[in-house]
Structure 1
Amino acid sequence: AATSAALGRTGHGAPPLRGGVAAAVLPSAGRSYGSQAKEEEELRVRYLDDEHKGIVVLGLNRSHAKNALSKNLVKMMSKAVDALKSDKKVRTVVFRSEVPGIFCAGADLKERAKMHSSEVSSFVSRARATINELANLPVPTIAAIDGTALGGGLELALACDIRVAASSAKMGLVETKLAIIPGAG
Protein backbone atom coordinates (compact mmCIF):
# COMPACT_ATOMS: atom_id res chain seq x y z
CA ALA A 1 0.00 0.00 0.00
CA ALA A 2 2.83 2.38 0.81
CA THR A 3 4.43 1.76 -2.58
CA SER A 4 1.22 2.27 -4.51
CA ALA A 5 0.50 5.41 -2.52
CA ALA A 6 3.97 6.79 -3.18
CA LEU A 7 3.69 5.97 -6.87
CA GLY A 8 0.16 7.39 -7.23
CA ARG A 9 -0.45 10.27 -9.60
CA THR A 10 -1.14 13.83 -8.56
CA GLY A 11 -2.59 16.66 -10.59
CA HIS A 12 -4.10 16.36 -14.06
CA GLY A 13 -7.26 14.77 -12.59
CA ALA A 14 -5.36 11.78 -11.18
CA PRO A 15 -5.71 10.45 -7.63
CA PRO A 16 -3.64 12.31 -5.02
CA LEU A 17 -0.69 10.90 -3.13
CA ARG A 18 -1.66 9.55 0.28
CA GLY A 19 0.11 10.56 3.43
CA GLY A 20 0.16 14.24 2.59
CA VAL A 21 2.57 16.22 0.49
CA ALA A 22 5.05 18.67 1.91
CA ALA A 23 6.17 21.73 0.01
CA ALA A 24 7.32 20.92 -3.51
CA VAL A 25 10.79 22.34 -2.95
CA LEU A 26 14.11 21.05 -1.74
CA PRO A 27 15.16 21.81 1.84
CA SER A 28 16.58 25.30 2.27
CA ALA A 29 15.87 26.10 -1.39
CA GLY A 30 12.71 28.06 -0.61
CA ARG A 31 11.39 27.59 -4.14
CA SER A 32 11.34 25.22 -7.09
CA TYR A 33 14.33 25.27 -9.42
CA GLY A 34 14.08 27.20 -12.67
CA SER A 35 14.09 30.77 -13.83
CA GLN A 36 10.66 31.06 -15.42
CA ALA A 37 7.24 30.04 -14.12
CA LYS A 38 6.88 27.45 -16.91
CA GLU A 39 10.32 26.00 -16.19
CA GLU A 40 9.85 25.96 -12.41
CA GLU A 41 7.37 23.13 -12.69
CA GLU A 42 9.43 20.94 -15.06
CA LEU A 43 10.62 18.93 -12.06
CA ARG A 44 8.28 18.65 -9.11
CA VAL A 45 9.97 17.67 -5.87
CA ARG A 46 7.65 16.35 -3.17
CA TYR A 47 8.55 15.27 0.34
CA LEU A 48 5.90 12.89 1.63
CA ASP A 49 4.91 12.96 5.28
CA ASP A 50 2.98 10.96 7.86
CA GLU A 51 3.58 7.22 7.39
CA HIS A 52 5.49 7.95 4.16
CA LYS A 53 7.97 10.37 5.76
CA GLY A 54 11.40 10.08 4.18
CA ILE A 55 10.09 9.33 0.69
CA VAL A 56 10.89 11.96 -1.93
CA VAL A 57 9.02 11.93 -5.24
CA LEU A 58 10.68 13.59 -8.22
CA GLY A 59 8.06 14.18 -10.91
CA LEU A 60 8.96 14.98 -14.51
CA ASN A 61 6.48 17.56 -15.79
CA ARG A 62 7.12 18.72 -19.35
CA SER A 63 3.84 17.69 -20.95
CA HIS A 64 4.39 19.93 -23.99
CA ALA A 65 7.60 17.98 -24.77
CA LYS A 66 6.69 14.48 -23.52
CA ASN A 67 9.07 14.99 -20.59
CA ALA A 68 12.02 15.26 -22.98
CA LEU A 69 15.29 16.08 -21.22
CA SER A 70 16.03 19.76 -21.85
CA LYS A 71 19.03 21.72 -20.57
CA ASN A 72 16.85 23.24 -17.87
CA LEU A 73 15.33 19.92 -16.78
CA VAL A 74 18.76 18.27 -16.56
CA LYS A 75 20.00 21.26 -14.53
CA MET A 76 17.01 20.95 -12.18
CA MET A 77 17.51 17.18 -11.84
CA SER A 78 21.21 17.72 -11.10
CA LYS A 79 20.44 20.21 -8.34
CA ALA A 80 17.74 17.97 -6.86
CA VAL A 81 19.94 14.85 -6.86
CA ASP A 82 22.83 16.84 -5.39
CA ALA A 83 20.61 18.06 -2.53
CA LEU A 84 19.19 14.58 -1.92
CA LYS A 85 22.54 12.85 -1.55
CA SER A 86 23.36 14.82 1.60
CA ASP A 87 19.85 14.86 3.11
CA LYS A 88 19.94 12.33 5.96
CA LYS A 89 16.13 12.38 6.32
CA VAL A 90 15.60 10.87 2.86
CA ARG A 91 15.01 7.10 2.90
CA THR A 92 13.83 6.52 -0.69
CA VAL A 93 13.58 8.48 -3.94
CA VAL A 94 10.85 7.77 -6.49
CA PHE A 95 11.30 9.10 -10.04
CA ARG A 96 8.02 9.34 -11.95
CA SER A 97 6.12 11.30 -14.53
CA GLU A 98 3.45 13.87 -13.78
CA VAL A 99 2.29 13.47 -17.40
CA PRO A 100 -0.11 10.57 -18.07
CA GLY A 101 1.13 8.01 -20.60
CA ILE A 102 4.74 9.16 -20.86
CA PHE A 103 7.70 8.60 -18.55
CA CYS A 104 10.37 10.38 -20.61
CA ALA A 105 10.90 10.65 -24.37
CA GLY A 106 14.68 11.04 -24.03
CA ALA A 107 16.67 14.10 -25.03
CA ASP A 108 14.78 17.16 -26.26
CA LEU A 109 15.86 16.86 -29.89
CA LYS A 110 14.16 20.13 -30.90
CA GLU A 111 16.22 22.01 -28.33
CA ARG A 112 19.32 20.02 -29.22
CA ALA A 113 19.00 20.90 -32.92
CA LYS A 114 19.37 24.58 -31.96
CA MET A 115 22.46 24.00 -29.80
CA HIS A 116 26.00 24.79 -30.87
CA SER A 117 28.24 21.69 -30.91
CA SER A 118 30.00 22.86 -27.72
CA GLU A 119 26.60 23.09 -25.99
CA VAL A 120 25.73 19.55 -27.07
CA SER A 121 28.91 18.19 -25.53
CA SER A 122 28.27 20.08 -22.30
CA PHE A 123 24.62 18.94 -22.22
CA VAL A 124 25.51 15.27 -22.74
CA SER A 125 28.23 15.48 -20.07
CA ARG A 126 25.85 17.04 -17.56
CA ALA A 127 23.10 14.52 -18.35
CA ARG A 128 25.58 11.64 -17.95
CA ALA A 129 26.89 13.06 -14.66
CA THR A 130 23.36 13.58 -13.34
CA ILE A 131 22.30 10.03 -14.21
CA ASN A 132 25.49 8.68 -12.59
CA GLU A 133 24.81 10.73 -9.45
CA LEU A 134 21.26 9.35 -9.36
CA ALA A 135 22.65 5.82 -9.63
CA ASN A 136 25.03 6.55 -6.75
CA LEU A 137 22.51 8.01 -4.31
CA PRO A 138 22.96 6.40 -0.88
CA VAL A 139 19.26 5.47 -0.66
CA PRO A 140 17.09 3.14 -2.77
CA THR A 141 15.79 4.76 -5.94
CA ILE A 142 12.68 3.66 -7.80
CA ALA A 143 11.60 4.51 -11.35
CA ALA A 144 7.82 4.37 -11.70
CA ILE A 145 7.36 3.92 -15.45
CA ASP A 146 3.89 4.63 -16.78
CA GLY A 147 4.00 5.00 -20.54
CA THR A 148 6.96 5.45 -22.82
CA ALA A 149 10.61 5.55 -21.69
CA LEU A 150 12.93 6.09 -24.64
CA GLY A 151 16.62 6.88 -25.00
CA GLY A 152 17.74 9.07 -22.11
CA GLY A 153 14.41 8.42 -20.41
CA LEU A 154 15.17 4.71 -20.26
CA GLU A 155 18.74 5.48 -19.17
CA LEU A 156 17.26 7.53 -16.33
CA ALA A 157 15.06 4.58 -15.32
CA LEU A 158 17.99 2.15 -15.58
CA ALA A 159 20.00 4.33 -13.18
CA CYS A 160 17.41 3.61 -10.48
CA ASP A 161 17.78 0.59 -8.21
CA ILE A 162 14.24 -0.62 -8.89
CA ARG A 163 12.03 -0.14 -11.93
CA VAL A 164 8.28 -0.61 -11.65
CA ALA A 165 6.47 -0.46 -14.97
CA ALA A 166 2.83 -0.39 -15.95
CA SER A 167 1.79 -3.28 -18.19
CA SER A 168 1.34 -0.71 -20.98
CA ALA A 169 4.87 0.72 -20.62
CA LYS A 170 7.08 0.83 -23.71
CA MET A 171 10.85 1.10 -23.39
CA GLY A 172 13.66 1.36 -25.88
CA LEU A 173 17.06 2.72 -26.79
CA VAL A 174 16.12 3.95 -30.25
CA GLU A 175 19.57 5.42 -30.87
CA THR A 176 20.92 1.90 -31.32
CA LYS A 177 19.01 1.75 -34.63
CA LEU A 178 21.35 4.52 -35.77
CA ALA A 179 24.39 2.51 -34.63
CA ILE A 180 25.17 4.94 -31.81
CA ILE A 181 25.44 4.18 -28.13
CA PRO A 182 23.16 5.70 -25.49
CA GLY A 183 24.45 9.20 -24.79
CA ALA A 184 24.07 9.39 -21.03
CA GLY A 185 25.72 6.11 -20.21
Structure 2
Amino acid sequence: MASLSTLLLRGPSVLRRCPWLPAARTYAAGGDFEYIIAEKRGKNNNVGLVQLNRPEALNALCKGLIEELSRALMMFQKDPSIGAVVMTGTEKAFAAGADIKEIRDKTFQSCYSDNFLKDWDFLNQFKKPVIAAVNGFALGGGCELAMMCDIIYAGEKAQFGQPEILIGTIPGAGGTQRLTRVVGKSLAMEMVLTGDRISAQEAKQAGLVSKIFPVEKVVEEAIHCAEKIASNSKIVTEMAKESVNAAFELTLAEGMRLEKKLFYSTFATDDRKEGMNAFVEKRKPNFKDK
Protein backbone atom coordinates (compact mmCIF):
# COMPACT_ATOMS: atom_id res chain seq x y z
CA MET A 1 0.00 0.00 0.00
CA ALA A 2 3.02 2.22 -0.34
CA SER A 3 2.95 5.66 -1.86
CA LEU A 4 5.47 6.44 -4.60
CA SER A 5 5.10 10.17 -4.00
CA THR A 6 7.96 9.96 -1.48
CA LEU A 7 10.10 7.89 -3.84
CA LEU A 8 9.59 9.37 -7.30
CA LEU A 9 8.02 12.77 -7.03
CA ARG A 10 10.18 15.18 -5.06
CA GLY A 11 9.01 18.70 -4.36
CA PRO A 12 5.54 20.22 -4.45
CA SER A 13 3.04 18.85 -6.92
CA VAL A 14 -0.26 20.54 -7.64
CA LEU A 15 -2.93 18.40 -9.26
CA ARG A 16 -5.61 19.91 -11.41
CA ARG A 17 -9.14 18.96 -10.55
CA CYS A 18 -10.93 17.11 -13.37
CA PRO A 19 -12.33 19.86 -15.63
CA TRP A 20 -15.47 17.82 -16.29
CA LEU A 21 -16.49 17.87 -12.62
CA PRO A 22 -18.37 20.80 -11.02
CA ALA A 23 -17.25 22.48 -7.84
CA ALA A 24 -19.71 20.80 -5.49
CA ARG A 25 -18.36 18.25 -3.01
CA THR A 26 -21.61 16.96 -1.63
CA TYR A 27 -23.94 14.20 -2.64
CA ALA A 28 -27.62 14.45 -1.70
CA ALA A 29 -27.93 14.56 2.09
CA GLY A 30 -24.58 12.91 2.66
CA GLY A 31 -22.89 16.02 3.97
CA ASP A 32 -19.56 17.60 3.09
CA PHE A 33 -16.47 15.69 2.01
CA GLU A 34 -12.91 16.89 2.49
CA TYR A 35 -11.00 14.36 0.42
CA ILE A 36 -13.44 13.29 -2.30
CA ILE A 37 -16.08 14.70 -4.63
CA ALA A 38 -19.27 12.66 -5.02
CA GLU A 39 -22.17 13.35 -7.34
CA LYS A 40 -24.69 11.82 -9.72
CA ARG A 41 -23.91 11.72 -13.43
CA GLY A 42 -25.39 10.39 -16.65
CA LYS A 43 -28.37 11.50 -18.73
CA ASN A 44 -30.73 9.91 -16.22
CA ASN A 45 -28.65 10.69 -13.11
CA ASN A 46 -28.26 6.95 -12.56
CA VAL A 47 -24.46 6.84 -12.29
CA GLY A 48 -22.57 7.66 -9.12
CA LEU A 49 -19.25 9.45 -9.63
CA VAL A 50 -16.56 9.60 -6.97
CA GLN A 51 -13.38 11.60 -7.51
CA LEU A 52 -10.49 11.19 -5.10
CA ASN A 53 -9.46 14.77 -4.45
CA ARG A 54 -6.39 15.12 -2.28
CA PRO A 55 -4.08 16.83 -4.77
CA GLU A 56 -1.36 17.93 -2.35
CA ALA A 57 -0.55 14.28 -1.66
CA LEU A 58 -1.17 12.72 -5.10
CA ASN A 59 -4.42 11.32 -3.70
CA ALA A 60 -2.56 9.33 -1.05
CA LEU A 61 -5.07 7.09 0.69
CA CYS A 62 -5.23 8.43 4.21
CA LYS A 63 -7.72 7.11 6.76
CA GLY A 64 -10.03 10.08 6.25
CA LEU A 65 -10.19 9.56 2.49
CA ILE A 66 -11.01 5.86 2.85
CA GLU A 67 -13.71 6.65 5.40
CA GLU A 68 -15.28 9.25 3.09
CA LEU A 69 -15.09 6.86 0.15
CA SER A 70 -16.86 4.22 2.22
CA ARG A 71 -19.55 6.73 3.22
CA ALA A 72 -20.12 7.86 -0.37
CA LEU A 73 -20.44 4.30 -1.63
CA MET A 74 -22.84 3.49 1.18
CA MET A 75 -25.05 6.36 0.01
CA PHE A 76 -24.87 5.17 -3.60
CA GLN A 77 -25.72 1.63 -2.48
CA LYS A 78 -28.86 2.87 -0.71
CA ASP A 79 -29.92 5.11 -3.62
CA PRO A 80 -32.29 3.06 -5.83
CA SER A 81 -31.68 5.37 -8.79
CA ILE A 82 -27.97 4.52 -8.97
CA GLY A 83 -27.13 1.51 -11.13
CA ALA A 84 -23.34 1.77 -11.31
CA VAL A 85 -20.47 3.86 -9.95
CA VAL A 86 -17.37 5.40 -11.54
CA MET A 87 -14.32 6.02 -9.36
CA THR A 88 -11.55 8.32 -10.58
CA GLY A 89 -8.77 10.62 -9.45
CA THR A 90 -7.12 13.39 -11.45
CA GLU A 91 -5.13 13.46 -14.66
CA LYS A 92 -1.90 13.19 -12.65
CA ALA A 93 -2.85 10.45 -10.21
CA PHE A 94 -5.66 8.01 -9.56
CA ALA A 95 -3.96 7.34 -6.22
CA ALA A 96 -0.22 7.13 -5.58
CA GLY A 97 -0.60 4.80 -2.60
CA ALA A 98 -1.02 4.92 1.14
CA ASP A 99 -0.20 7.96 3.23
CA ILE A 100 3.24 6.92 4.48
CA LYS A 101 3.45 9.76 7.00
CA GLU A 102 0.26 8.45 8.57
CA ILE A 103 1.35 4.81 8.88
CA ARG A 104 5.14 4.89 9.28
CA ASP A 105 5.02 4.68 13.11
CA LYS A 106 2.60 1.76 13.28
CA THR A 107 3.69 -1.43 15.00
CA PHE A 108 2.82 -5.07 14.46
CA GLN A 109 0.80 -5.01 17.67
CA SER A 110 -1.26 -1.99 16.58
CA CYS A 111 -1.83 -3.36 13.08
CA TYR A 112 -2.92 -6.73 14.40
CA SER A 113 -5.00 -5.53 17.35
CA ASP A 114 -6.74 -2.75 15.43
CA ASN A 115 -7.27 -4.91 12.31
CA PHE A 116 -5.48 -2.35 10.15
CA LEU A 117 -7.01 -2.02 6.66
CA LYS A 118 -10.42 -3.27 7.85
CA ASP A 119 -11.91 -0.05 6.46
CA TRP A 120 -11.03 -1.30 2.96
CA ASP A 121 -13.57 -4.12 3.17
CA PHE A 122 -16.43 -1.82 2.12
CA LEU A 123 -15.64 -2.17 -1.59
CA ASN A 124 -15.64 -5.97 -1.38
CA GLN A 125 -19.18 -5.79 -0.01
CA PHE A 126 -20.47 -3.18 -2.48
CA LYS A 127 -23.10 -4.84 -4.69
CA LYS A 128 -23.33 -2.39 -7.55
CA PRO A 129 -20.75 -2.42 -10.36
CA VAL A 130 -17.80 -0.04 -9.98
CA ILE A 131 -15.66 1.19 -12.87
CA ALA A 132 -12.22 2.62 -12.11
CA ALA A 133 -11.26 5.42 -14.51
CA VAL A 134 -7.50 5.60 -14.04
CA ASN A 135 -5.26 8.43 -15.16
CA GLY A 136 -1.68 8.88 -14.04
CA PHE A 137 -0.33 6.87 -11.14
CA ALA A 138 -2.19 3.89 -9.68
CA LEU A 139 0.52 2.68 -7.33
CA GLY A 140 0.54 0.58 -4.18
CA GLY A 141 -2.81 1.08 -2.50
CA GLY A 142 -3.97 2.97 -5.58
CA CYS A 143 -3.39 -0.07 -7.76
CA GLU A 144 -5.08 -2.25 -5.14
CA LEU A 145 -8.06 0.11 -5.00
CA ALA A 146 -8.41 -0.01 -8.80
CA MET A 147 -8.26 -3.81 -8.72
CA MET A 148 -11.07 -3.89 -6.15
CA CYS A 149 -13.29 -2.29 -8.79
CA ASP A 150 -15.11 -4.45 -11.33
CA ILE A 151 -13.84 -2.82 -14.54
CA ILE A 152 -10.72 -0.72 -15.13
CA TYR A 153 -10.57 1.89 -17.90
CA ALA A 154 -7.19 3.56 -18.25
CA GLY A 155 -5.95 6.78 -19.76
CA GLU A 156 -3.12 6.25 -22.22
CA LYS A 157 -0.55 7.66 -19.77
CA ALA A 158 -1.66 5.62 -16.74
CA GLN A 159 0.91 3.61 -14.79
CA PHE A 160 0.28 0.69 -12.44
CA GLY A 161 2.61 -0.72 -9.80
CA GLN A 162 3.14 -2.26 -6.38
CA PRO A 163 6.26 -0.45 -5.09
CA GLU A 164 5.95 -1.50 -1.42
CA ILE A 165 9.18 -3.49 -1.59
CA LEU A 166 11.09 -0.24 -2.14
CA ILE A 167 10.17 1.00 1.33
CA GLY A 168 10.60 -2.28 3.16
CA THR A 169 7.13 -3.79 3.17
CA ILE A 170 4.73 -5.73 0.94
CA PRO A 171 1.25 -5.08 -0.45
CA GLY A 172 -1.47 -5.52 2.16
CA ALA A 173 -4.78 -4.86 0.41
CA GLY A 174 -4.71 -7.40 -2.39
CA GLY A 175 -1.57 -6.54 -4.32
CA THR A 176 -0.13 -10.05 -4.08
CA GLN A 177 -3.47 -11.80 -4.49
CA ARG A 178 -5.66 -9.96 -6.99
CA LEU A 179 -2.74 -8.95 -9.18
CA THR A 180 -1.51 -12.56 -9.43
CA ARG A 181 -4.99 -13.81 -10.34
CA VAL A 182 -5.32 -11.22 -13.09
CA VAL A 183 -1.88 -10.96 -14.71
CA GLY A 184 -0.36 -14.31 -13.74
CA LYS A 185 2.45 -15.31 -11.40
CA SER A 186 5.45 -14.20 -13.43
CA LEU A 187 4.42 -10.59 -14.06
CA ALA A 188 2.90 -10.20 -10.59
CA MET A 189 6.07 -11.54 -8.98
CA GLU A 190 8.22 -9.19 -11.05
CA MET A 191 6.11 -6.17 -10.13
CA VAL A 192 5.96 -7.03 -6.42
CA LEU A 193 9.64 -7.98 -6.05
CA THR A 194 11.12 -5.09 -8.07
CA GLY A 195 8.57 -2.34 -7.51
CA ASP A 196 8.62 -1.66 -11.26
CA ARG A 197 5.60 -0.06 -12.88
CA ILE A 198 3.77 -1.08 -16.05
CA SER A 199 2.16 1.19 -18.61
CA ALA A 200 -1.51 1.28 -19.52
CA GLN A 201 -0.67 -0.62 -22.72
CA GLU A 202 1.18 -3.34 -20.78
CA ALA A 203 -1.66 -3.50 -18.26
CA LYS A 204 -4.20 -4.04 -21.03
CA GLN A 205 -2.06 -6.72 -22.64
CA ALA A 206 -1.83 -8.49 -19.27
CA GLY A 207 -5.59 -8.32 -18.71
CA LEU A 208 -5.51 -5.79 -15.86
CA VAL A 209 -7.19 -3.06 -17.92
CA SER A 210 -10.28 -3.43 -20.08
CA LYS A 211 -9.84 -0.45 -22.43
CA ILE A 212 -7.49 2.50 -22.98
CA PHE A 213 -8.62 6.00 -23.92
CA PRO A 214 -7.06 9.46 -24.31
CA VAL A 215 -6.51 11.09 -20.94
CA GLU A 216 -9.31 13.60 -21.38
CA LYS A 217 -11.80 10.90 -22.48
CA VAL A 218 -11.38 8.11 -19.92
CA VAL A 219 -13.87 9.39 -17.32
CA GLU A 220 -16.42 10.24 -20.00
CA GLU A 221 -16.12 6.73 -21.44
CA ALA A 222 -16.35 5.15 -17.99
CA ILE A 223 -19.56 7.08 -17.31
CA HIS A 224 -20.91 5.95 -20.69
CA CYS A 225 -20.19 2.31 -19.77
CA ALA A 226 -21.78 2.82 -16.36
CA GLU A 227 -24.91 4.23 -18.04
CA LYS A 228 -25.16 1.08 -20.16
CA ILE A 229 -24.91 -1.06 -17.03
CA ALA A 230 -27.39 1.11 -15.12
CA SER A 231 -29.98 0.73 -17.90
CA ASN A 232 -30.26 -3.00 -17.15
CA SER A 233 -32.12 -4.59 -14.25
CA LYS A 234 -30.25 -3.64 -11.09
CA ILE A 235 -31.13 -6.81 -9.22
CA VAL A 236 -30.02 -9.03 -12.11
CA THR A 237 -26.86 -6.95 -12.55
CA GLU A 238 -25.98 -7.61 -8.91
CA MET A 239 -26.49 -11.35 -9.48
CA ALA A 240 -24.20 -11.23 -12.51
CA LYS A 241 -21.50 -9.40 -10.53
CA GLU A 242 -21.74 -11.93 -7.69
CA SER A 243 -21.37 -14.82 -10.12
CA VAL A 244 -18.32 -13.38 -11.91
CA ASN A 245 -16.59 -12.54 -8.62
CA ALA A 246 -17.17 -16.07 -7.39
CA ALA A 247 -14.96 -17.35 -10.21
CA PHE A 248 -11.94 -16.00 -8.32
CA GLU A 249 -12.78 -17.86 -5.13
CA LEU A 250 -14.50 -21.13 -6.05
CA THR A 251 -13.52 -24.23 -7.97
CA LEU A 252 -15.02 -24.57 -11.43
CA ALA A 253 -17.59 -27.10 -10.20
CA GLU A 254 -18.59 -24.90 -7.25
CA GLY A 255 -18.74 -21.84 -9.46
CA MET A 256 -20.93 -23.61 -12.00
CA ARG A 257 -23.35 -24.63 -9.26
CA LEU A 258 -23.57 -21.05 -7.99
CA GLU A 259 -24.02 -19.70 -11.50
CA LYS A 260 -26.86 -22.13 -12.16
CA LYS A 261 -28.61 -21.21 -8.90
CA LEU A 262 -28.33 -17.51 -9.67
CA PHE A 263 -29.56 -18.15 -13.21
CA TYR A 264 -32.57 -19.98 -11.80
CA SER A 265 -33.10 -17.05 -9.41
CA THR A 266 -33.55 -14.61 -12.28
CA PHE A 267 -36.73 -16.50 -13.19
CA ALA A 268 -38.24 -15.30 -9.92
CA THR A 269 -37.89 -11.67 -10.98
CA ASP A 270 -40.33 -9.49 -12.89
CA ASP A 271 -37.40 -8.07 -14.85
CA ARG A 272 -36.51 -11.45 -16.38
CA LYS A 273 -40.08 -11.80 -17.63
CA GLU A 274 -40.10 -8.21 -18.93
CA GLY A 275 -36.76 -8.64 -20.66
CA MET A 276 -37.78 -11.80 -22.50
CA ASN A 277 -41.19 -10.41 -23.41
CA ALA A 278 -39.57 -7.26 -24.78
CA PHE A 279 -37.18 -9.36 -26.87
CA VAL A 280 -40.03 -11.40 -28.36
CA GLU A 281 -42.10 -8.26 -28.97
CA LYS A 282 -39.12 -6.43 -30.50
CA ARG A 283 -39.22 -3.49 -28.13
CA LYS A 284 -36.98 -1.94 -25.48
CA PRO A 285 -37.47 -3.49 -22.01
CA ASN A 286 -38.80 -1.39 -19.14
CA PHE A 287 -37.07 -2.83 -16.12
CA LYS A 288 -38.50 -2.09 -12.66
CA ASP A 289 -35.65 -3.66 -10.65
CA LYS A 290 -38.01 -6.27 -9.22
**TM-score for both structures, normalised by structure 1:** 0.73
Q: How many correspondences in the alignment?
A: 159
Query: Partner residue of 1:109?
Result: 100
Shift of 1:71: 1.1
Post-superposition Cα deviations, 1:132-169, rounded to whole Å, max 9, x if no partner, equal: 23xxx222211011001011111110011110111211
Which runs of no fewer than 5 residues in structure 2 stay unpaired? 1-14, 175-290
Query: Partner residue of 2:40?
Result: 47
Shift of 1:78: 1.5
Query: Partner residue of 1:26?
Result: 27
Amino acid at match of 2:32: S
Q: Structure 1 or 2: larger strand share?
A: 1
Pair 1:12–1:107, CA change in 2 (3 A): closer
User: Is 1:130 matched up with 2:141?
Assistant: no
Query: Partner residue of 2:62?
Result: 70
Distance in 1 between residues matched to 2:92 and 2:98, nearest whole Å? 17
Distance in 2 between residues matched to 1:86 and 1:104, nearest whole Å? 26
Distance in 1 between residues matched to 2:54 and 2:18, nearest whole Å? 16
Mapped contact 2:136–2:158 kept (Cα < 8 A): yes
Distance in 2 between residues matched to 1:176 and 1:87, nearest whole Å? 40
Structure 1 stretch 110-119 or stretch 75-84: which is displaced more? 110-119
Which runs of no fewer than 5 residues in structure 1 stay unpaired? 1-10, 34-39
Distance in 2 between residues matched to 1:76 and 1:46, nearest whole Å? 13
Mapped contact 1:22–1:47 kept (Cα < 8 A): no
Query: Partner residue of 1:4?
Result: none
Query: Partner residue of 1:162?
Result: 151
Pair 1:56–1:110, CA change in 2 (3 A): same
Query: Partner residue of 1:151?
Result: 140
Amino acid at match of 1:110: K
Post-superposition Cα deviations, 1:32-71, rounded to whole Å, max 9, x if no partner, equal: 23xxxxxx2x11101125x151111100011111101101
Pair 1:70–1:123, CA change in 2 (3 A): farther
Pair 1:15–1:68, CA change in 2 (3 A): closer
Post-superposition Cα deviations, 1:9-31, rounded to whole Å, max 9, x if no partner, equal: xx9475425xxx695423332x2
Shift of 1:86: 2.0
User: Is 1:171 matched up with 2:132?
Assistant: no
Shift of 1:77: 1.2
Post-superposition Cα deviations, 1:74-97, rounded to whole Å, max 9, x if no partner, equal: 111121122222221111101001
Q: Structure 1 or 2: larger helix share?
A: 2
Distance in 2 between residues matched to 1:143 and 1:57, nearest whole Å? 10
Amino acid at match of 2:27: L
Identity %: 33
Amino acid at match of 2:65: L
**TM-score for both structures, normalised by structure 2:** 0.48
Mapped contact 2:66–2:120 kept (Cα < 8 A): no
Distance in 2 between residues matched to 1:14 and 1:85, nearest whole Å? 24
